[in-house]
Chain A
Amino acid sequence: MSLLSCWCLPLVLLGFQAETARLPLRVTIDESPPHAVRLYGLPAEMLSALQQAEISSRDWQDVYRVEVAGSEQAQSNLPPVAGSYRVEADHIVFVPRFALQRGQPYRVRVWPNRLKGAPAAWPGLWQDVLILPDSDVAPRTRVVAIYPSSDLLPENQLKFYIHFSQPMRRGEAYRHIRLLDNTGHPVPYPFLELPEELWDPSQQRFTLLLDPGRIKRGLKPREEFGPILESGNSYTLLIDAQWKDAAGRPLIEGAAKKFRVTEPDEQQPNLESWKLRLPRAGSREALEVLFDEALDHGLLQRMIWITDATDSPVPGQVEILRKETVWRFVPENPWMAGPYQLCVDARLEDLAGNSLARPFEVDLFERVEVQSKADVRRRLFRVEP
């Protein structure tokens, strides 16, 4: 394991034994990633011999290691930072496996007397602490939207989407969100706290589920603690400013969403009852679909689309308007006169999780069978000149 065992060259013969015990060691850290750590000050002959030896990372760590700086007690038990070593003409480079982090102190420990042929007077341990300054610590992220945007929500509201202006940090979401009742007291355990946390891939949108155990009827949590939201009452969803973004900075400010609760919604969205505001052929006017209730903001982004007479998707821009009750579509190219189809993925849900395919709760005695085997519901419309 020791560096001694794997050296092929007898360094004692190389003549640097005459060096004094004064060993002018110093370390530097590269400004650019991966922030290699360079150890200077060993005699050239020794470096030259090391260059020719084959030494594993594990053996290197016995004489030169970079560690995350911790307390003295913890330090002895911490493994060194993973990485590889290389000998240059006048120094030894440690290249970390992952780029070192700004603002994190690193301790470099060197045991010169473990090097083969080291003079007896060389120190047993030499150490230094390095840190890459992190000047960029001012808050710059804020909550930009909370959906649903309506301030009237059904008693069986299923989820919220919280949008941020920059990527956020995973693993602490539930500490920073509270639901307050109309007296300002926190509602106990309102959320389904998933260890994985539900983020979009950019970590700018967080999905917050209310505990379905207290939404679904007949489940034990609801039987014991009642529903989370009660019709007629007002609530505030509160996000505190201590929630950190991906760079570790707190938010510029907290955010609050106040809403009043109405009767539970057990109706499925119905494509046939939606109103269409049709464009004219030859124009790039918007097609507007007006729902009879607010639908899920996240799903609306991708679960409705238009196909033309050849059943090809029509490219264009989608906007969700009027508190998620309007889906607006502007085509890239002018509309042609003739038939089009409004296509809706049957998994599209309203605020209470009722989808076109099925209600959130299926009643065993009044069983609602899935209306169609198809995953996609279609409604024909014509664009006239």
Chain B
Amino acid sequence: MRARSSLLFVLSMLLVATLGVVLAGEGPEGLKPGTVTLKSAGPIAFAPDGVLLIGDPVAATVYAVATGDTKGDPEKAEYRIEAIDEKVAALLGVSSSDILIADVAANPTSGNVYLSVARGRGPDAQAVIVRTNPQGEFDILPLENVACAKAELPNPPREAGQGRFNQRALAITDLAYVAGSVIVAGLANEEFASTLRVLPYPFAEGTRGAGVEIYHGSHGRFETQSPIRTFTSYVLEGEPHILAAYTCTPLVKIPLKQLAPGAKVRGVTIAELGNRNQPLDMFVYSKDGKDYLLVANSRRGVMKISAVELSGNYNITQRIEGTAGAGFETLEGWTGVVHLDRLNSQCALVLSQNESGRLDLRSVPLP
């Protein structure tokens, strides 16, 4: 009897151990085994534990996918991959003119780099996440039978009977994991002003998030609601903020706690990034004990703004003459930058177009 009890105990412990393994196999918190079928691949960013967030604009969905890529030393990662567009295209069996790279993100846990890619340029283009490493090896991120979760963004057809006319599409302009939430900025092709969405993370079943309308008053008498192009988070004077750059150039700060579902928020404009220009990517870093914001722009190069300037008591509500607001330095030599991310404590990851039109991926010491 005693022997049998012992055996049962051992068996039950084995069962518990096995279950434990199975549960661990489900991956990071909130993710369940499944298959992600991307209709399109837009902006990407990392959440904790090597979880990749993938914005799918066509499906109006954000996916969280466990990459399992959690080992490695990002501090040792260095990149110098020339004509990466040709290499990614070759992996996918096409020429570089038949792919589009929508975004680049460095995995902060491993130092490996992920690219969000469209193979093909028509409506039937295939969405692929391509991964590379400092050795210049390439592979395709598996999306079948992986630990994953999703959050659908509202993009419904109007009332019944109207759906067939809905040609509305959503361009996700940026997304980021910020302190327990995934924040998504988008732009619809029909309505000019789009809302910022805040999705609690890990995604709960049926998460849709709630929109936040952000106004900013950078133009004298007029204020506006316009689409956010890129954003990042930063603690200003002890309070977490979103720093957001708009399609029509203002850089705006918004306290994170104001981004409550359904809220209408007025952001404070702290700088104008210049005309004929669009901000593309930005991140915050520390160097020699000081914090800086790095912003890549479509026509105005890469700008470096010190945290001292960000914390300055700027609130541009007057008509701007010259360069008002937070001061910035436009970096020499950072030309043709199309995407930017933080690689490690020493380097930025830069995807830039070279003189022959090819895209190079490089790690560049933080300025």
Chain B, interface size category, equals 35 or more
* Known pairs A79-B90, A301-B166; A203 contacts B171 (CB<8 A): no
Of A98-106, A232-240, A267-275, which binds chain B? A98-106
B-contact 0/1 string along A177-203, CB 8 Å cutoff:
000000000000100111111111111
Q: Is the CB of A81 within 8 A of B100?
A: no
B100 touches A199 (CB 8 A): no
Residues of A with C-beta under 8 A to B69: none
Residue of A77, A196, A200, A218 near B167 (CB, 8 A) is A200
Bound-state Cα–Cα, A159 to B247, Å:
15
The reply to whether B276 and A70 form a contact with Cβ atoms under 8 Å apart is no
B residues 190-229 near A (Cβ < 8 Å) are: 190-192, 215, 217-224, 226
Task: Contacts A97-B140, A98-B119, A313-B161 given; indicate if A81 touches B187 (C-beta within 8 A).
Answer: no
Interface residue? B280 (CB, 8 A): yes
Q: Which single member of B58, B87, B162 contacts A79 (CB below 8 Å)? A: B87
Q: How would residues 78 to 98 of chain A score, 1 for a CB under 8 Å from any chain B CB and 0 otherwise?
A: 111111000000000000111
**Structural contact, A220 and B192, CB atoms closer than 8 A:** no
Kindly state whether residue A170 has any CB partner on chain B within 8 Å.
Answer: yes
Q: Are B167 and A205 in contact (CB under 8 A)?
A: yes
Query: Is A72 close to B, CB under 8 A?
Result: no
Q: Assuming the A-B contacts A79-B91, A202-B123, are A301 and B219 also in contact, with contact meaning beta carbons closer than 8 angstroms in the complex?
A: no
A213–B224 CA distance with the chains assembled, in angstroms: 11
Contacts of B83 in A (CB 8 A): 74, 77
Q: Is A305 in contact with B90, judged by CB distance below 8 angstroms?
A: no
> In the bound complex, what is the Cα–Cα distance between A339 and B249 (angstroms)?
49
Q: A-side binding surface: helix, strand, loop or mixed?
A: loop
Bound together, the chains give a CA A123 to CA B63 distance in angstroms of: 48
Q: Is the interface of B mostly helix, strand, loop or mixed?
A: loop
Determine whether the beta carbon of B189 is less than 8 Å from that of A298.
Answer: yes
**Per-residue interface assignment for chain B, residues 265 to 303, with 1 indicating a CB less than 8 Å from any chain A CB and 0 otherwise:** 000000010111010100000000000000000100000
CA distance A194 to B58 in the complex (A): 16
The distance from the CB of A223 to the nearest CB of chain B, in whole angstroms, is 7
Contacts of A120 in B (CB 8 A): none
A195 to B219, CA, bound (A): 25
Please tell me if the beta carbons of B58 and A193 are within 8 angstroms of each other in the complex.
no
| Distance between B317 CB and nearest chain A CB, rounded to angstroms | 8
Is there an interface contact between A216 and B94, defined as CB atoms closer than 8 Å? no
How far is A216 from B121 in the complex, measured between Cα atoms in Å?
33
Point out the residue from B42, B171, B223, B275 that lies within 8 Å of A198, measured CB to CB.
Answer: B171
Q: Residue B15 at the A interface, CB < 8 A?
A: no
How close is A377's CB to chain B, nearest CB, in angstroms?
14
Residues in B with CB closer than 8 Å to A197 are 171
Q: When chains A and B are docked, how far (Å) is the Cα of A251 from the Cα of B118?
A: 23
CB-nearest residue of chain A relative to B339?
A195
Quick one: which of A329-363 are within 8 Å of B by CB?
A: 343, 345, 347, 349, 353, 360-363
Residue B320 interfacial (CB < 8 Å): yes
Contact A216 B160 (CB under 8 A): no
A353: which of B140, B168, B171, B192 is its contact (CB, 8 Å)? B192
Q: For residue A57, give the distance in angstroms from its CB to the closest CB of chain B.
A: 10
In the complex, A302 has a CB within 8 A of chain B: yes
Partner of A343, one of B98, B159, B189: B159
Contact B192 A82 (CB under 8 A): no
Residues of chain A from 287 to 314 with CB closer than 8 A to chain B in the complex:
296, 298-299, 301-303, 305, 307, 313-314
Q: Does A316 contact B (CB under 8 A)?
A: yes
**B86 close to A78 (CB less than 8 A):** yes
Contact of B320 among A74, A203, A220, A246 (CB under 8 A): A220
Q: Is B310 an interface residue (CB 8 A)?
A: no
B224 adjacent to A313 (CB under 8 Å) = no
Q: Judge whether A301 and B90 touch: CB under 8 Å.
A: no
Query: Are A218 and B138 within 8 A (Cβ)?
Result: no
Number of A-B contacts (CB under 8 A): 218
Asked if B166 and A101 sit within 8 Å, CB to CB, the answer is no
| Pair B169/A82 contact, Cβ less than 8 Å | no
Q: CB distance A198 to B95 under 8 Å?
A: no
**CB-based nearest B residue for A215:** B248
**Cβ of A127 to closest chain B Cβ, rounded Å:** 16
Residue of A nearest to B120 (CB): A246
Contact, CB under 8 Å: B161 / A305 = yes
CA distance A342 to B278 in the complex (A): 40
Known: A246-B121, A298-B189. A220 touches B249 (CB 8 A): yes
* CA A216 to CA B247, docked complex, whole Å: 12
Is A364 positioned at the interface, with any CB of B under 8 Å from its CB? yes
Contact with A along B313-334 (1 / 0, CB 8 A): 0000001110000000000000
Most chain-B Cβ atoms within 10 A of its Cβ — which of A171, A197, A316, A347?
Answer: A171
Docked Cα-Cα span, A219 to B221, in Å, equals: 10
B93, B171, B221, B320 — most chain A CB neighbours (10 Å): B93
Residues of B143-171 at the interface with A, using a CB-CB cut-off of 8 Å, are 157-163, 165-169, 171
> In the assembled complex, how far is the CB of residue B353 from the closest CB belonging to chain A, in whole angstroms?
12
Q: Which residue of B lies closest to A205 (CB)?
A: B167
Collect the chain B residues with CB atoms within 8 Å of residue A200's CB.
167-169, 189
Instruction: Tell me the nearest residue of chain A to B57, going by C-beta.
Output: A196
B173 at the interface (CB under 8 A from A): yes
Other than the given A79-B137, A101-B94, A301-B166, 5 more pairs (CB < 8 A) read A202-B123, A203-B122, A207-B189, A298-B168, A360-B192
A-B contact pairs, 14 of them (CB 8 A): A82-B139, A97-B93, A197-B171, A201-B169, A207-B189, A209-B192, A211-B276, A213-B249, A217-B220, A221-B276, A246-B120, A298-B190, A301-B167, A362-B222
